[in-house]
């Protein structure tokens, strides 16, 4: 009988602790002597090109990949736990791969932003959330009022981003803040908050 696979999605806003949770889960699996592989999109070079690094500086080795196909080609057949950082940057084929791996008895953990800076569903995340066996939504602390934050707020030269700005802008504290619903404001927004 094959092992029971599982698809877990860890999501939330920037600064909610998603990368730290990925690192914790990877280390936990390693302590259990399971074969683990961690992947990240090569576009994410904020802190390191080959490591997942949290905003607090905690890090774990990862394999940077340019595409879902490259990720699939770098999977070792005996890997038991696959962790994927910043999954929102992959195309929708990541959904089929994650489901296929879980169906074949692998534990798959996808970590990423569930919403973009406009509070819209981000990339493949809505379908990954729907396909998941378990969803963990982490919340940050609002950088304006200190309340619980679920939204990623983009700041450009100290001013709020505009609705029409490009969706992808790799950055950290220089470009983003965690915000609660009350403190979130976007210029030219189709939804007023």
* CATH code of the domain in which 31 resides: 3.40.50.300
pLDDT single digits (tens) 127-168: 999 999 999 999 999 999 999 999 999 887 777 776 777 677
Residue 22 lies in a domain: yes
| pLDDT at residue 81 is higher than 70 | yes
Of 86, 92, 107, 174, catalytic: 86
Least confident of 28-42, 48-62, 64-78, 81-95: 48-62
* Nearest CA among 143, 177, 11 for reference residue 86: 11
Number of domains composing the chain = 1
Give the structural domain span for 102.
Answer: 6-139
Pairing of strands 148-149, 140-141: antiparallel
Residue 62 lies in a domain: yes
Residue 177 lies in a domain: no
pLDDT bucket at 92, cuts 50 / 70 / 90: very high
Can you give the pLDDT at residue 162? 67
Buried b (16+ CB within 10 A) or exposed e, 113-123: bbbbbbbeebb
8-state DSSP, 4: P
* Nearest CA among 107, 139, 131, 123 for reference residue 12: 139
| pTM, 2 dp | 0.89
Known catalytic membership, residue 49: no
Residue 87 lies in a domain: yes
């Amino acid at each position: 009988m094959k092992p029971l696979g599982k698809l877990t999605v860890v999501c939330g806003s920037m600064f909610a602790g998603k990368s730290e949770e990925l690192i914790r889960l990877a280390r936990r699996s390693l302590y259990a002597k399971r074969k683990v592989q961690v992947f990240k999109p090569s576009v994410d070079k904020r802190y390191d090109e080959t490591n997942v690094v949290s905003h607090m500086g905690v890090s774990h080795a990862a394999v940077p990949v340019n595409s879902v196909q490259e990720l699939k080609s770098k999977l070792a057949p005996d890997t038991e736990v696959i962790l994927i950082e910043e999954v929102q940057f992959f195309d929708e084929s990541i959904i089929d791969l994650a489901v296929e791996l879980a169906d074949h008895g692998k534990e798959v953990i996808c970590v990423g932003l569930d919403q973009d800076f406009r509070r819209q569903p981000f990339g493949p995340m809505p379908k990954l959330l729907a396909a998941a066996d378990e969803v963990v939504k982490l919340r940050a602390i609002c950088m304006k009022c200190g309340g619980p934050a679920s939204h990623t707020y983009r700041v450009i030269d100290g001013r709020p981003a505009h609705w029409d700005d490009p969706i992808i802008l790799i950055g950290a504290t220089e470009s983003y803040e965690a915000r609660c619903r009350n403190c979130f404001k976007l210029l030219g927004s189709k939804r007023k908050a």
